[in-house]
Structure 1
Amino acid sequence: MSVKVVCVGGGPAGLYLAVLLKRQNPSHDITVHERGPEGSTYGWGVTYWRGLLDRLHRHDPDSAHAIEASSVRWNEGVAHVRDRVTRQPGDEGRGIGRHRLLEILADRARCLGVRLEFGSEITAADLPEADLVVAADGVHSALRTRHADHFGTRIQEGRNPYVWLGTTKVFDAFTFAFTETAHGWIWAYGYGYSAERSTCVVECSPHTRSGLGLDRADEAEGLALLERLFAGVLDGHRLIGRSTAGADAPWPTFRTLTNRTWHRGNLVLLGDAAHTTHYSTGAGTTLALEDAMCLATSLRTHPALPEALAAYERRRRSDLLAAQSAARYSARWYEDLPRYMDLPPHRMFALLGQRHSPLLPYVPPQLYYGLDRAAARLEPLRRLKRRLGPSVARALQSRSVGTP
């Protein structure tokens, strides 16, 4: 049975949902409304990992191949701490320009027959008639705000201000840079997303921002100061600001958004309109695309809309628990950064990789590092016992406690 779907918001979640629904049933009438002009997206590059790429290939191989071909890869992490550098192997990560990602998804949607309406702002007061209305209009969703009491929207402000920048420096690994100033620490996360550009997110405490004068500097002054502070990793390359009309104020604090429920009648929330997770986990775009996969699957397997939307919400809320917990602890790790900065760089970097742990804030860093290393040494024995099987494992255990 064909349905009419109106998707408000032309970000990754909205476009990918349109692609998936049109693939499931070419007779669906699907329109995506995006208030900005085509190609006017904010942001620089987004990150994702191999697991997402595998899921993209299963759901729509054509767009997955295009995304993979337009991505850069890395499999190492680098941390610059004061004048010392440590480099570690890691999972294979990927970066793609946000503009390029949206271009790929928009082209794929058009090829499948989805109508894309750019410069088309839809408000809660003038919703088009449709069987399903998808609010994919971001963290500031007008459709969600209109019914905020029903959705039970809750926004929690983070502590640290940050700024999202681009740079002409192409990082060959996921790069962390920690700089100590007279006013406290300031740090950057950098990752490539094309052969010419990288993303560079800079964060610090409110005290450090005001002490450095970044709260009073105009964009050019702020970029010049940050280029001096991170000269050791930028290698003479420049930082690039947004300078975009209608953009958020510079140096916001991160807003963690949750909702008590994700649907109301035939209106459903998708992506950042439903939830956000702290940028330090690099999961925002991945979670939005996974929302689209789950909603499309639920609509295919549940003929009745109420059951489909309930199944989508139930599944995604469950799947998000681990990601939301990791994001909370990751944000807290950076808020408590001075606690870790006197460790040797390789130990600090190891705990940076453990920042999602709920135990880490409550265990002295040196002790946690030692316990984590001891647990890692025990893991090969656990794997061996699993391969040997229960009976041999029990025999080994009985011998280890002196049983004859």
Structure 2
Amino acid sequence: MKVVCVGGGPAGLYLAILLKRQNPSHDITVHERNPEGSTYGWGVTYWRALLDRLHTYDPESAQAIEESSVRWTQGVAHVRDQVTRQPGDAGHGIGRHRLLEILAERARGLGVRLEFEDEITPENLPEADLVVAADGIHSTLRTHHADRFGAEVTEGRNHYVWLGTTQVFDSFTFAFAETGHGWVWCYGYPYDDGHSTCVIECAPDTLTGLGLDAMDEAGRLTVLEKLFAGILDGRPLTGGASAAWPAFRTLTNRTWHHGNLVLLGDAAHTTHYSIGAGTTLALEDAMCLADALREHTALPQALAAYEHRRKAEIVSAQSAARLSAQWYENLPRYIGLPPHRMFALLGQRHSPLLPYVPPQLYYGLDKAAGRLEVLRRFKRWLGPRAARALHVRS
């Protein structure tokens, strides 16, 4: 089979790796419009469950990813001058540049052709048995067939900026800073021994009230460094091409394939960054598509199976992402709680029940459920059903 993959991000590279492992005779080319080694963003996060799956699908690249990652087992929240910590699941961070380097090296080693600075459009699309659109939320190939794919984009309310720092956090770090125009908050996590990612978010009125939307990059960084001086410990923030203040755009598509063209990763779907699942979902898309192509000899059946399975699998993540984004959009509802209680509810932000129960009452019920097995079982039973009901209504 001849495969053309448009987009050299994690999804496209990992799919190429998996298809070559399944059948070395496949003719696979990955086309990336940017130069090799250039990418947006700083570090990405993932959890142990993904690492286990990576080891199952391709142990060699999984080992390299694990060796290049940092790990944490707790979260810390800074609210005004108070600090609270909570244990959590083992989280991992890896630099996006390093992740792409590992996947590119592995793909080349298997015989995949990588063509950088090679922008593919509908007009110069090479002939192939399968064309994979892994070219992100602004996918050119998907847009060309917009009526077929039925893309819908929903813009969130808050604005964010993606930054880096040489401050190495020892855990997944949240910091909430109060200003005269509202709250500004930061999500920070390490991704190698010398760097961390900082995603900073605020409401629209806060953005304009502080003048952040009208400042140049140097001015914005100066303001943010002062606001988060307590967690940065004197180290600077670093901007770059990603130092803007967009509102997050959630993308869905009515269908994920048309003819021999299939969508992968952010070209097919996006989920709010606050659940840290974007890269995980993209890699899992690649796993699912590779499985479907192995299990079905006819391409139409394979693409239909891939779409059906992945759409069902990501419902819970999409629901969690919507609820997580809404939690931050309604931060004043929670920020006045004692920090340890606010942090506990931050960890419960994926619950479809939380927006409808007074925060103090929900905290008490959640603590009780943690002590009583019958309530814990009821909570586990009710949560997925409420999430599915929310998905159906939306």
Q: 1:327 aligns with which of 321, 324, 340?
A: 321
The CA distance in 2 between the partners of 1:360 and 1:185, in whole Å, is: 21
1:363 shift after superposition: 0.9
Q: Residue by residue, what CA displacement relative to the aligned partner does 1:6-40 show, whole Å, maximum 9, x if unpaired?
A: 00000000000000000000000000000000001
Distance 1:20 1:377, change over 3 A: same
The Cα of 1:382 is off from its aligned counterpart by 7.1
Superposed displacement of residue 379, structure 1: 2.4
Matches within 5 A, 1:374-389: 374-379=368-373
8 Å CA contact retained: 2:181, 2:206: yes
Is 2:309 the partner of 1:311? no
Equivalent of 1:208 in 206, 209, 225: 206
**Which residue number in structure 2 is paired with residue 123 of structure 1?**
121
Written as runs of structure 1 = structure 2, the 5 A alignment for 1:199-278 is 199-242=197-240, 244=241, 250-278=244-272
Cα contact 2:370–2:376 (8 A) shared by 1: no
- Supply the distance in 1 between the matched residues of 2:363 and 2:123 (Cα, whole angstroms): 55
- Judged with a 3 Å threshold, the aligned counterparts in structure 2 of structure 1 residues 233 and 281 are, in CA distance, closer, same or farther, namely same
Give aligned-pair identity as a percent.
Answer: 78
Q: CA deviation at 1:149?
A: 1.1
How far apart are 1:381 and its partner, in Å?
9.0
In structure 2, do the counterparts of structure 1 residues 313 and 377 end up closer, same or farther at CA, with 3 Å as the change threshold?
same
Which stretches in structure 1 are left out of the alignment for 5+ residues?
Answer: 384-404
Match of 2:369, as an amino acid?
A
In the superposition, relative to structure 1, how do residues 382 and 363 fare at CA in structure 2: closer, same or farther (>3 Å)?
Answer: closer
Tell me the CA shift for residue 138 of structure 1: 0.2
Q: Name the SS of the counterpart of 1:41 in structure 2.
A: coil
Alignment partner, residue 184 of structure 1:
182
Q: Residue deviations 1:332-371, cap 9 Å, x none?
A: 0000001101100000000000000111111110011011
3-state SS in 2 of match to 1:156: strand
Tell me which stretches of 4 or more aligned residues in structure 1 moved more than 3 Å: 380-383
RMSD of Structure 2 on Structure 1 (CA): 1.0
TM-score under structure 1 length normalisation:
0.92
Q: Distance in 2 between matches of 1:168 and 1:381?
A: 44
1:78 is aligned, of 69, 76, 79, to 76
Secondary structure of the 2:212 match is coil
Which of 329, 339, 348 is residue 342 of structure 2 equivalent to?
A: 348
Aligned to 2:277: 283
Map of 1:154 onto structure 2: 152
Tell me the TM-score normalized by structure 2. 0.95
What is the alpha-carbon distance in structure 1 between the residues aligned to residue 73 and residue 197 of structure 2?
17
- The 3-state SS of whatever aligns with 2:325 is helix
Secondary structure of the corresponding residue to residue 91 of structure 1: strand
Q: Does 1:367 align with 2:367?
A: no
User: Rg: which structure is higher?
Assistant: 1
Q: What does the per-residue CA deviation read over 1:144-163, in whole Å, with 9 as the maximum and x for residues that have no partner? A: 00011110100000000100
The SS at the match of 2:154 is strand
Q: For structure 2, list consecutive stretches of 5 or more residues without a partner in the other structure.
A: 378-394
Describe the shift of the 1:364–1:304 C-alpha distance in structure 2 as closer, same or farther (beyond 3 A).
same
The total of aligned residue pairs comes to 377
> What is the DSSP-based 3-state SS (H/G/I as helix, E as strand, rest coil) of the residue aligned with 1:316?
helix
Q: 2:142 aligns with which of 124, 141, 144?
A: 144
Inter-partner Cα distance in structure 2 for 1:341 and 1:110: 49
1:389 match: none
Map Cα deviations across residues 226-257 of structure 1 (whole Å, 9 max, x no partner): 00000011000100001x3xx6x710000000
Alpha-carbon offset, residue 125 of structure 1: 1.8
